[in-house]
Amino acid sequence: MLGFLRGFSAIWRRELAGIFMGPLAWTLLVIAIALQGLLFLVYLKTSQGDVDLALRFGFGESWAFWALAALFPPLLTMRMISEESRLGLLEYLLTAPVSDASVVLGKFAAATSFMALVWSSGLLHALLVQAAGVAPDWGAVWGGWIGAVLVSGLFCATGLLCSALTNTPVVAAFGAIVLHIVIVILPLLSSLTEARWIQEAIARVDVLDHHKATFLVGVLDSAYLGFFVVWTALFLYAATRSLEARRWR
């Protein structure tokens, strides 16, 4: 267990450093923060100054949030396995004294940490409105941030799976983005059908609803937390198996 944690920690730090050494992460961060800042002002105006509503928009009530959540993780994870595999660096990693699971988990943690930083701009907006004299509902703000990180974690896990399945980063990113779009528009498909069993089946895997119904309004519910943890774990498990399969090729 200690060895696993040591390996995980080493991979995490290595990947995080890798992310911030390249220009992509900084570019994404600047775009995300500027865009979210601009949209926050728009939300404030459209909600007639309702601070909580505007912050909720930034953490998951708006399409802009879901667009960022669907697009950014694949851009981060696309190179994590496929690029390394293509360049032959993965061989070194897999022969190092770390398990496949700690490799996948370390990369996942690094990508999710970056996304947590991206969503921190929402916390900055909350601080700004507090400085302007209106204290927001901090419980809902932290709930929204935790939910946003969990959503990103799930999308980073799917991104890693796609990255593990192919040797071409662009294909990995494209595959993950398509998968994320399907996940995001799934509830819309539900409204196109009258069949209750389809609606109920979709509701069971509806990521938007699981985020909006609890975290976004300031509720930490173990069932909803479990939803994200279980599905993220499933994709990470699949990514680990896929990485393991590379040894057999």
What does the binding site for other proteins look like in residue numbers (CB under 8 A)? Answer: 20-21, 23, 25-27, 29-30, 33-34, 36-38, 40-41, 44-45, 47-53, 121, 124-125, 128-129, 131-140, 142-143, 191, 194, 204, 213, 217-223, 226-227, 230-231, 233-234, 237-238, 247-249
CB of 61 to other proteins, least distance (A): 9
Shortest separation between residue 141's beta carbon and other proteins, angstroms = 9
User: At residue 51, what are phi and psi to the nearest 5 degrees?
Assistant: -65, -45
* Min CB(176)–other proteins separation in Å: 17
Non-local (6+) Cβ contacts of 26 within 8 A are 20
CB of residue 216 to other proteins, shortest distance in Å: 9
Question: Of the candidates 155, 18, 12, which has an alpha carbon nearest to the alpha carbon of residue 79?
Answer: 18
CA end-to-end span of the chain: 28
Q: Which is nearer to other proteins, 78 or 126 (CB)?
A: 126
User: CB within 8 A of 123, min separation 6: which ones?
Assistant: 141, 145
For 100, the token pair is 């496949």
CB neighbourhood size of 34 (10 A): 11
3-state secondary structure 156-184: HHHHHHHHHHCCCHHHHHHHHHHHHHHHH
Q: Which is nearer to other proteins, 54 or 177 (CB)?
A: 54
Least gap, CB of 39 to other proteins (angstroms): 10
Residue 152: its H or E element? helix 138-165
Distance of closest approach, residue 123 Cβ to other proteins, in angstroms: 11
Q: 152-168: buried (b, 16+ CB within 10 Å) or exposed (e) per residue?
A: bbbbbbbbbbbbbbbbe
Residue closer to other proteins by CB (options 55, 78) is 55
Residue with tokens 């990947």: 15
Q: Between residues 126 and 176, which has the closer beta carbon with respect to other proteins?
A: 126
For other proteins, the closer of residues 5 and 188 by Cβ is 188
